[in-house]
A and B are shown apart, each in its own frame.
Chain A
Amino acid sequence: MALKFRGVDFIDFDSLLSEDEILVRDNTRKFVEENVIPGIEQWNRDGKFPRELIRPMGELGFYGANLKGYGCAEMSNVEYGLVMQELERGDSGLRSFVSVQSALVMYPIYAFGSDAQKDQWLQAMAKGEKLGCFGLTEPDAGSNPGAMRTRARKDGNEYVLNGEKMWITSGSIADVAVIWAKVDDERGNVRGFLVETDRPGFKAADIHGKWSLRASVTSSLSLQDVRIPASNILPKTEGLKNALMCLNQARYGIAWGGVGAAMAVYDCALQYAQFRKQFRDQPIASHQMVQEKLVWMINEISKAQLLVLHVGRLKDKNRAAHYHISMAKRNNVGIALECARMARDILGANGIADEYPVFRHMANLESVKTYEGTNDVHTLIIGQQITGIDAF
């Protein structure tokens, strides 16, 4: 039995939003309801990324929505966040795709690219005509990207890249990869490079057998003597910190996404608990232990909304620090995963079937908890900020 999502707002959160913010949210919600929800369980089952949604999402302006110019919508960070929330209410995989395109590919080109690079890529990426991926993680460098082995060597007017990247979202469907590599001539300093994926020596292979983010493409990349023009370096990248700046953009969106996934599982569990009857013909929502779970969920969701809205308002004033964003990502994804597990419990056996969205969200959120800085890594970022001691 399909339960229609009714939105979640316990604390009159909407009174904190402007009319335009509400319009952005409702419009995205409608798009997701009509274009994602009907197909998502099947795509997830088949491990299929819904390519047919790429262009429609481009037409609506979802890619690079908070960038200015190049056909981008110049949304505020809160409006952009609400789009992420609604996309992830549909599916974390879809949100991941949009996050990568926007925050991890368009943003570095926008922030660190040359004018020629911006002209070449941004407009086409905003429309969804060109897709991108972000290659930072490697088989032996995850939480500690500084340990990366990928190398770039200057050779005349070219760079030659060698290395392996792992767990790369959209890797095999991308037209361009933002590859982070240590530059030999610069004493191993990390720089970003735009690598067109049809260059000789570039290979992408999909990672199969995932239990999570099944409606999103995850690939490994192999670069063997890939030659790119020297002009493909992102000129304003100076070190690993630029990669982390991209992650900051994406993590901010993920913090909103967590709210969306949590709303989806909470609303489903609430509706289910109201019609499912056990003992004396009473809905299970009438039992104290079920209510306790639902209350925990709405309590945490309400706090998560306030936290991420606050960080968004700070970001709009250019005052959001990376550790603020870490707190929002860590908290919101953490509570979303906990909500999903509780919702799974409330649904009983139905909780394990894909007739309901709960298990899919739960499995997805395991990835979301790990990528863009694991929960632990964000703990250490916040810990470092408050104690002044690096505990990595």
Chain B
Amino acid sequence: MKILVCMKQVPQKDAPLKLNESGRWIREDISYEVNEPDAYALEEALRQKEKHGGEVVVITAGPGRAQQVLREALAKGADRAIHLEGDEFVGLDPVNTAKAIQAAIKDDAFDLIFTGLQSDDYGFAQTGVILSELLNWPHATIIMQIEKKDGGIRVKRELESGDFQFVEMPLPAVLTIQSGINKLRYATLIGIKQAKNKPLQKKAFADVQSAIGPNLQQIQRLYIPQKTKKTELLEGTSTEVAKKLVEKLRNDVRVL
């Protein structure tokens, strides 16, 4: 199976975020890491390849720093990488990101495309789904298991409240992978060494620009929520207070 894994570099989970001057995004001078569900998507692709053979290709759209994500993926066992490199990719909405990826892989024939379920920064959960529409392929989201069948795959989707759904689908297809589907491996030192010799293809914004239109979705304003602390004293006898408390917990806080 030939699998493409779309991976994004996002701010490190506990990085102290500051707004940038435009007030629409954050300042860049922080640490970055691979988007968590994407790491699971890569791991799943590597496992599928180990079982069924084939090739794992990784792609990212982002500035120069995002190459680190590809290096790590190559070190873990991906066969080659494509870097859509440019600061312009940072502000793209999911439609345009999907279009850029589609344009970048137009000469490749993949059986499967994996994305993470969603990105830890924007959290849209859209890129994979839109990409499948653009390609006119079927897709399934929140994938917890993938099994190869004759002529297709059978996947397990995570639903609400601990329920699962099994879906059979033909190939090629797009799957958005849920964190925790497998156990992540570490890159080995030998893997890191070997990755130096694996192909890493760079494409500039100009190379895919013709496929991209104006953003359909725009961030108007980003702000850090004001910290507010409201203390309310419940008064009355203990029976009355208990009653009020239960009401509050049921109707306002909604935890009962």
**Contacts A20-B71, A23-B68, A23-B75 hold; do A6 and B192 have CB atoms under 8 A apart?**
no
Is there an interface contact between A74 and B31, defined as CB atoms closer than 8 Å? Answer: no
B196 vs chain A, min Cβ distance (A): 7
Question: Which residue of A4, A22, A30, A73 is within 8 Å of B188 (Cβ)?
Answer: A73
Q: Among residues 68 to 121 in chain A, which have CB atoms less than 8 Å away from a CB atom of chain B?
A: 71, 73-75, 79, 83
B236 vs chain A, min Cβ distance (A): 32
- Give Cα distance in the complex from A169 to B193, angstroms: 30
A16 vs chain B, min Cβ distance (A): 16
Question: Which residue of B14, B187, B193 is within 8 Å of A75 (Cβ)?
Answer: B193
Question: Which residue of B14, B75, B189 is within 8 Å of A62 (Cβ)?
Answer: B189
Q: How many residues of A contact B (CB 8 A)?
A: 22
- Give Cα distance in the complex from A74 to B191, angstroms: 11
A25 vs chain B, min Cβ distance (A): 11
Residue A281 is within 8 A (CB to CB) of chain B in the complex? no
Chain A residues near B190 (CB, 8 Å)? Answer: 61, 71, 73
Chain A residues near B188 (CB, 8 Å)? Answer: 59-61, 73
Residue A198 is within 8 A (CB to CB) of chain B in the complex? no
- Give Cα distance in the complex from A27 to B34, angstroms: 12
A273 vs chain B, min Cβ distance (A): 17
Is there an interface contact between A24 and B189, defined as CB atoms closer than 8 Å? Answer: yes
Residue B186 is within 8 A (CB to CB) of chain A in the complex? yes
Is there an interface contact between B68 and A19, defined as CB atoms closer than 8 Å? Answer: yes
Residue B67 is within 8 A (CB to CB) of chain A in the complex? yes
- Give Cα distance in the complex from A83 to B192, angstroms: 13
Is there an interface contact between A23 and B71, defined as CB atoms closer than 8 Å? Answer: yes
- Give Cα distance in the complex from A30 to B14, angstroms: 15
Residue B55 is within 8 A (CB to CB) of chain A in the complex? no
Chain A residues near B71 (CB, 8 Å)? Answer: 19-20, 23
Is there an interface contact between B193 and A73, defined as CB atoms closer than 8 Å? Answer: yes
Residue A301 is within 8 A (CB to CB) of chain B in the complex? no
Chain A residues near B193 (CB, 8 Å)? Answer: 73-75
Chain B residues near A20 (CB, 8 Å)? Answer: 71, 192, 195-196
- Give Cα distance in the complex from A83 to B189, angstroms: 10
Residue A201 is within 8 A (CB to CB) of chain B in the complex? no
Task: Name which residue of chain A comes closest to B196, CB basis.
Answer: A20
Is there an interface contact between B189 and A6, defined as CB atoms closer than 8 Å? Answer: no
Residue B72 is within 8 A (CB to CB) of chain A in the complex? yes
Question: Which residue of A6, A19, A60 is within 8 Å of B186 (Cβ)?
Answer: A60
B residues apposed to A, CB below 8 Å: 14, 31, 67-68, 71-72, 75, 186-190, 192-193, 195-196
Q: A19-B71, A22-B68 are known contacts; what are 11 more A-B pairs with Cβ within 8 Å? A: A4-B14, A6-B14, A20-B195, A23-B75, A27-B187, A30-B186, A59-B188, A60-B186, A73-B190, A75-B193, A79-B189
8 contacts between A and B (CB under 8 A): A20-B71, A20-B195, A20-B196, A22-B68, A23-B71, A27-B72, A65-B189, A73-B190
